[in-house]
Each structure stands twice: as C-alpha cells, then as structure tokens.
Amino acid sequence: MAGDGGVGAAVKPAAFEYSVPDTLEEALELIGAESRPLAGGQSLVPLLNFRLARPARLVDVNRIPELAYLRKDGAALRIGALTRQVALERSPLVAAEWPLLREATRNVGHAQIRSRGTVGGSVAHADPTAELPVAFTALDARFHLRSSSGARTLGSEELFRWPYTTALAPDEMLVEIEVPPLPQGARAGFVEHARTHGDFAVAGAAVVLAPGRYAAVALLGAGPKPLRAEQAESALLEGAPAREVAALAAELAGGGYPRALMADLVRRAAEEAGA
C-alpha cells in the first residue's frame, strides 16, 4: 500500500482494482463506466501514470486468447481486437493482400510500442493522429462490438466521433475488425509527417487504388477523426494524376501550411499506390 514505507511503495497511477478474466464473457460482465478494459496499455498506461485517467477498476483483457487472431475468412481479413500491432506488421497475408495495413502499422510508434500495442486498442482509443483508424477507414473496415447484452457492427463513419471518442458504449468492447477484400491488383500508399520518427503524426494520407475499379483516399490530421476525401476518390477512380487528386484532398485540410503539407502527403501516397 502507498505509504507502507521505503522505495518499495513507489507508485505513479492512482489506485485501482484489477481483474484479469480469461474469457470474453467474463470481461464483458466486468466492464462499465468505471471499469475500463486494459489491452496493450501503450496509451492507457501513460494516462494512468499522469493520473489523467483514474478508473476504479481495470479489466486486463491480455489473457483472453479468443481475442487474438489474424485470419482470412472467405475473402475478408478478420483481426481479433487483442492482436498485437507487430503481428499485423509481420503477417505475410497482410503484406500480400492488404499492404496498406502493413505500411500504416510500420508508422505506429516504435518497435517497442508495436510489440505490445494492440490493433483494437489503437482503434478504440481513437487518437486523431493514429495510423490504424485512418487505414481501416480507407479499407471500409467493419468494427464488431460486443456487450454482455448484445452485439452490433459499425462502419468507420459511425464508430469514430471525435478525438478519443467513439460510439462504443461504456459496457461495450471492440472485439473484431473485419476488412473486406480489395480488387485483384489493388495497390496502396501510406505517407505521414511527424516531427521525429515514431512521434505523433501531424498529418498523413492513406490511398488505395485498383485503376478503374476502386479508389480510396483517407486523411489523418485533416479533422477530429479519419476523413475520406470523396472528391479526390472520384478523380482518382477516373484516372486523374496524383497531383490533381492531392489538390482535391487537401481542400479538406486547413489553409496555408496544413493544406500544403496534406497535398504533398496525398500526392506521395497516391504515387505509391500507382497513380
């Protein structure tokens, strides 16, 4: 206990109760407004250390094996919420069929963060500068939520609401992210700008392109949540050059520097995707 003397009592976070269920059902019974899930902890633990977050209870979901998987089911990719970011980064399946996810993940923090950070945690935390929410937005991913009383599935547009704010109810947990297949031969580009490597991004762009069939442009840092640049997507689908697509997308960013930066990032991402 704090105060029972010596350096042994060194603590940073405020006190909390700790539960470590080994099934999803048990976890869902436990979570609520004052009882928050702890996944990789790469965002939550700093908040605890600063005492910006003071939950009464943490429900550690790291020992629930049924939440950690990465597999192809039919043509779609299914990612369990507890899947570590490093698993996404190293998966040959992801590299071959959803290369955008690999590129985006390589930009998440550092290797020491990705080893522990989870895919679902990054989505549920909804940091407006996070890479994975933007990549999933570009890929039309579906987010599967569970609570002790039911289940529902949301798209990116419905899930992400505001910085650090999603449509998840206090007793709901994100359990799976489902990524639909891309047309054969689709290419992708993910480019971001951060002050130093691995730092929070200032802006970024995710582009997916299968010429004539599919085009997606999603922006990081152009608003309070991941944004799709629809006009830029239409132009890209019709074969517009990268520079023109970039100018259209950048209209969603603020003027001056943010717009110039966004135009450059989208152009480079579009070129990587073959535009």
Partner 1 sequence: MRVAVEINGEHHEREVEPRTLLSDFIRHELGLTGTKVGCEHGVCGACTVQLGGEPVRSCLMLAVQANNLSLRTIEGLGDDPEHPLLRAFHEHHALQCGFCTAGFLMSLEPFLRDNAEPGEEEIREALAGNLCRCTGYLGIVEAVKQAAGEIKPA
Rule CB under 8 A: say whether 262 interacts with partner 1.
Answer: no
Cβ proximity to partner 1: between 12 and 213 the closer is 12
Between 105 and 147, CB nearer to partner 1: 105
Of 84-103, which residues contact partner 1 (CB under 8 A)? 86
- Measured from the CB atom, the residue of 86 and 95 that comes closer to partner 1 is 86
Q: With contacts defined by CB under 8 A, how many residues of the chain interact with partner 1?
A: 36
CB of 9 to partner 1, least distance (A): 8
Least Cβ distance, residue 189 to partner 1 (angstroms): 18
Q: What residues from 189 to 248 belong to the interface with partner 1 (CB under 8 A)?
A: 196-198
Strand-pair partners of 72:
77
For residue 191, the minimal CB distance to partner 1 (Å) is 15
Q: How far is CA 61 from CA 11, 35, 67, 108, 133, in A?
A: 22, 12, 8, 21, 21
Kindly tell me which of 10 and 96 has the beta carbon lying closer to partner 1: 10
**Amino acid (one-letter) located at 208:** V
**Residues between 103 and 122 that touch partner 1 (CB under 8 A):** 109-113, 115-116
In terms of Cβ atoms closer than 10 Å to its own Cβ (0-12, 13-18, 19+), residue 21 is middle
Q: Cβ neighbours of residue 214 under 8 Å, at least 6 residues apart?
A: 182, 183, 186, 208, 237
Report if residue 62 touches partner 1, rule: CB under 8 A: yes
Q: Please state the closest distance from residue 52 (CB atom) to partner 1, in A.
A: 10
Whichever of 51 and 152 has its CB closer to partner 1, that residue is 51
Rounded to a whole number of angstroms, the minimum distance from the CB of residue 8 to partner 1 is: 5
41 binds partner 1 (CB under 8 A): yes
Measured from the CB of residue 87, what is the shortest distance to partner 1 in angstroms? 11
Q: Does 21 bind partner 1 (CB under 8 A)?
A: no
Residues contributing to the site for partner 1 (CB under 8 A)? 1-2, 7-8, 10-18, 20, 38, 41-42, 45-46, 48-50, 58, 60, 62, 86, 109-113, 115-116, 196-198
